[in-house]
Structure 1
Amino acid sequence: MKLVLSQPSPTNGDTEAAFGHVAMLLRMAGAAGAEMVLLPELFLPGYNRPDLHAGAQGPWIARLREMARAAGVGLTLGWAERAGEDVYNAATAIGPDGAVLAHYRKIQLFGPMERASFRPGTAPPPVFDLNGRRFGLLICYDIEFAAHSAALAQRGAEIILVPTANPAGFEHVQEVLVPARAHESALTVAYANYCGTETGLAFGGRSLIAGPDARPLAAAGTGETVLIATLPRREDYPPALISTQARDFRAP
């Protein structure tokens, strides 16, 4: 299983630029033989754009589904989802055939902007299958709560995809918490962040893919980056490097 992870600069509300970036990534992923592309939180219409969140559009997903189907590559990204009068900080995983594999509304909203802009999700984080691998889906702050990744592991997830928008100054998340979540639950965590700034908010970059031994399979710096990594299976690691506690509580 090969994953393409994008650490872009924000498009700052330019949705056509965002779709253009997705198209480029899908072409790159297809050429590399990758099966899934991962982008950051609220990639549409932008993270620090509360002025645009209420204008979220359902047709975005229909367009992305067609793009994934045409490329034959899966796609996971964050977006602002309007449902009636409510708006959610959501993420959707789309398969290579264009089918929706999973949809999730962020539970752990972070900071004043998110709490003012979105309703928290109430459904548990989803688990889905793709080409013989089992994935879980979280959004940014969710991964900092060990119970979420542990629950996904108990339901059989071996890879957690995490669209994120982690600001500069919070690098402990990438340096400590993401590797810890991967190790304690014996799974791989792919954490896709932004770099650069958006309406005064500076992002910390340092996206990474952490394996079950807590070590990075691939890691970005603070600039625009695309990571391409083959995601190993848990069985590929020596037993001594995998959390004993995780082996005990995981479902067979």
Structure 2
Amino acid sequence: MRVGIAQVAASALSAELDLNVAMLRSLAEQAARLHADILVTPELMLTRYEPAWAARHAAEGEWLREAAARISADAGVALVVSTPELADGRRFITVTLLAGGQALMHHRKRILFGAAEAASFEAGSEPTGVVELAGARIGLALCYEIEFPALARAAARAGADLMCVPTALTEGVTGQVSEQVPKVIVPARSIENQMHIAYANYARPEYIGQSTVTGPLGTLMRAGTEPVLAVHAIDIAAARAGRAINTYLQDLP
């Protein structure tokens, strides 16, 4: 499977949501030319990661996801896209896996980060599922959630080969810990759960970049700090076979 990471510049996003959709189309078409099977984009890319602003546009989340589904079908690339969602008067930060014009899986962020998110959104309550795509079993999470072992472990126990994680990791919010998320925490989640993780962040200056693809033996690819679309091939069969050697999952009580 070929996994794409879109590390976009937050400053390139617009208050005009149509322009962000157009950027997504361009990224999907570029990923298709690079023969990606799936492309992961940053958290709330279609509205910009500004929790209060995104929450005010939660009612537009449905058409944003519909537009992303059309782009996925047209480009022939599965997309992992994060949008706000309005459901029964409640607002959520969500991530959706889209392929062939359809939403295959949808996850509402369960662990919100900081006061800004908590003031604008509610936490989801349902665990992420796992769905088959291109020979891999895929799970979803959002940003801060991957920093908690239980969520990744639940996905692994459900059979996930790959977790796709849109994020919006800045350089000053969590101090020195920020740099350690893509360098230490995400690779550790892959090793302890014997699965791949595709972690897509925004580029500098406001964010730290360093979007990452990891595997059962650690980091496979890490982007720098500038905007980039990178594609990395992962070996699902080898990872599954490796679980018989590194038996973390089966040895856990």
Flag the 1:52–1:183 CA change in 2: closer, same or farther, 3 A: closer
- C-alpha separation in 1, matches of 2:124 and 2:241: 37
Does the aligned pair in 1 maintain the 2:112–2:144 contact within 8 Å?
A: yes
Does the aligned pair in 1 maintain the 2:7–2:200 contact within 8 Å?
A: yes
Question: How is 1:239-250 mapped onto 2 (pairs within 5 angstroms)?
Answer: 239=242, 243-248=246-251
Does the aligned pair in 1 maintain the 2:141–2:166 contact within 8 Å?
A: yes
In structure 2, give the amino acid aligned to 1:128: V
Flag the 1:236–1:115 CA change in 2: closer, same or farther, 3 A: closer
CA RMSD, 1 decimal: 2.0
How far apart are 1:82 and its partner, in Å? 1.4
Q: Which residue of 2 aligns with 1:152?
A: 155
Flag the 1:213–1:124 CA change in 2: closer, same or farther, 3 A: same
Moved over 6 A (4+): none
Question: How is 1:98-113 mapped onto 2 (pairs within 5 angstroms)?
Answer: 98-113=101-116
Q: Which residue of 2 aligns with 1:2?
A: 2
Question: How is 1:91-130 mapped onto 2 (pairs within 5 angstroms)?
Answer: 91-95=95-99, 97-130=100-133
Identical amino acids, percent of aligned pairs: 32
Q: Which residue of 2 aligns with 1:71?
A: 75
Q: 1:191 aligns with which of 193, 199, 202?
A: 199
How far apart are 1:234 and its partner, in Å? 5.3
Q: Which residue of 1 aligns with 2:236?
A: 233
Does the aligned pair in 1 maintain the 2:8–2:203 contact within 8 Å?
A: yes
Flag the 1:222–1:84 CA change in 2: closer, same or farther, 3 A: same
Flag the 1:191–1:242 CA change in 2: closer, same or farther, 3 A: farther
The 3-state SS of whatever aligns with 1:171 is helix
Does the aligned pair in 1 maintain the 2:28–2:75 contact within 8 Å?
A: yes
Does the aligned pair in 2 maintain the 1:163–1:192 contact within 8 Å?
A: yes
Q: Could you tell me which runs of 5 or more consecutive residues in structure 1 were left unpaired when the two chains were aligned.
A: none
How far apart are 1:16 and its partner, in Å? 2.6
Flag the 1:240–1:72 CA change in 2: closer, same or farther, 3 A: closer
How far apart are 1:13 and its partner, in Å? 3.0
Q: Which residue of 2 aligns with 1:212?
A: 216
Query: Does 2:31 match 1:29?
Result: yes
Does the aligned pair in 1 maintain the 2:143–2:167 contact within 8 Å?
A: yes
- C-alpha separation in 2, matches of 1:121 and 1:233: 29
Does the aligned pair in 1 maintain the 2:194–2:243 contact within 8 Å?
A: no
Write out per-residue CA displacement over residues 152-201 of structure 1, whole angstroms, 9 at most, x where no aligned residue: 1111001000000011141111111000000000000110001235xxxx
- C-alpha separation in 2, matches of 1:217 and 1:242: 19
- C-alpha separation in 2, matches of 1:161 and 1:60: 19
- C-alpha separation in 1, matches of 2:208 and 2:220: 19
Query: Does 2:139 match 1:131?
Result: no
In structure 1, give the amino acid aligned to 2:19: A
In structure 1, give the amino acid aligned to 2:216: P
Flag the 1:80–1:180 CA change in 2: closer, same or farther, 3 A: same
Larger helix proportion, structure 1 or 2? Answer: 2
Q: Which residue of 2 aligns with 1:161?
A: 164
Q: 1:222 aligns with which of 221, 225, 235?
A: 225
- C-alpha separation in 2, matches of 1:59 and 1:104: 17
The 3-state SS of whatever aligns with 1:50 is helix
